[in-house]
Amino acid sequence: MTIKRVSSTKCFDGLQQQFEHRSAVLDCRMRFAVFLPPQAEDAGDGQRFPVFYWLSGLTCTDENFSQKAGAQRAAAELGIALVIPDTSPRGEGVADDPGYDLGQGAGFYLNAIREPWKQHYRMYDYIASELPQLVEQHFPVNDRRAISGHSMGGHGALVIGLRNPERYTSISAFSPICNPIACPWGEKAFGAYLGADRQSWEEYDAATLMSRASEPLPALVSQGEEDQFLEQQLKPHALATAAEASGYPLQMEHHAGYDHSYFFIASFIEQHLRFHADFLLKH
């Protein structure tokens, strides 16, 4: 698997870079961003760093988090690499929809099984398997991984972490879509990508998965109380209820006055990185 560097910028004495590659899983060209902490420049042979994977929300690309969250400062201090993929397959020949909440920019981190989506829309496999293999092949990182995200990406982080506890040390999310089988965003996307069998939707529903989880990971969720999507789309109470029922170690935090924007993420991203560092940096 080969990659091409698109850009490279010094940031907090580390390197913020963007790459593109041909994805076999998604059958298209993809971009992703990587921040390497300053320790990587002086790392001796064999030294590797843990990775924090960030999944972004609807309409976003890899650039939103890279440019707005300010995560590089804490990552540089902690010695953690950041990997930020795009939110969907893109390009000529990739199916799309006029709505912002379906198609390009709205991959929902699942494997589509219906036309015209199934050829390209396999973001679950891309994030859980192909991208980590690529990153671990080309960068000085190890196989200690944490996963996090925002909104649709928070949904993706929770689902992928819950379904693959052996692959991650910890999970977190900002304002995640917690119960997509029961909200308009999820019902639209799941119906299009997965079809009418609502029982099959449950394998991509964080609340359902958390209620059944048998191998729990440390999990942190941050939710702003002034989030305009809180009640209709996000439904954090469903996740809290599921965690209580299964005894899942979920730390759910509600923050007064904060909305759904990157101002919220920037305010608490250091807390999330330090939360993950407790597990990523354990020997």
Amino acid at 256: A
CA nearest to 41, candidates 85, 81, 1, 83: 81
Residue with tokens 């379906």: 102
Contact, 21 vs 4, CB < 8 A?
yes
Which candidate in 150, 260, 272, 276 is catalytic?
260
| Residue 23 falls in the annotated catalytic set | no
Taking the alpha carbons of 70, 89, 124, 59 in that order, is the dihedral positive or negative? positive
Q: How many CB atoms lie within 10 A of CB 236?
A: 24
Q: How many CB atoms lie within 10 A of CB 192?
A: 21
Quote the DSSP letter at residue 127: I
Which candidate in 23, 151, 172, 222 is catalytic?
151
Which candidate in 88, 227, 272, 276 is catalytic?
227
Q: How far, in Å, CA of 28 to CA of 46, rounded?
A: 32
Cα atoms in the Cβ-side hemisphere of radius 13 Å centred on 55: 34
Q: How far, in Å, CA of 132 to CA of 117, rounded?
A: 23
Q: How far, in Å, CA of 168 to CA of 178, rounded?
A: 19
Q: How far, in Å, CA of 167 to CA of 161, rounded?
A: 8
| Residue 227 falls in the annotated catalytic set | yes
Q: How far, in Å, CA of 74 to CA of 153, rounded?
A: 21
Pairing state between β 28-36 and 14-23: antiparallel
| Residue 172 falls in the annotated catalytic set | no
Distances (CA, A) of 117 to 128, 132, 191: 19, 23, 11
Active site positions, annotated: 151, 227, 260
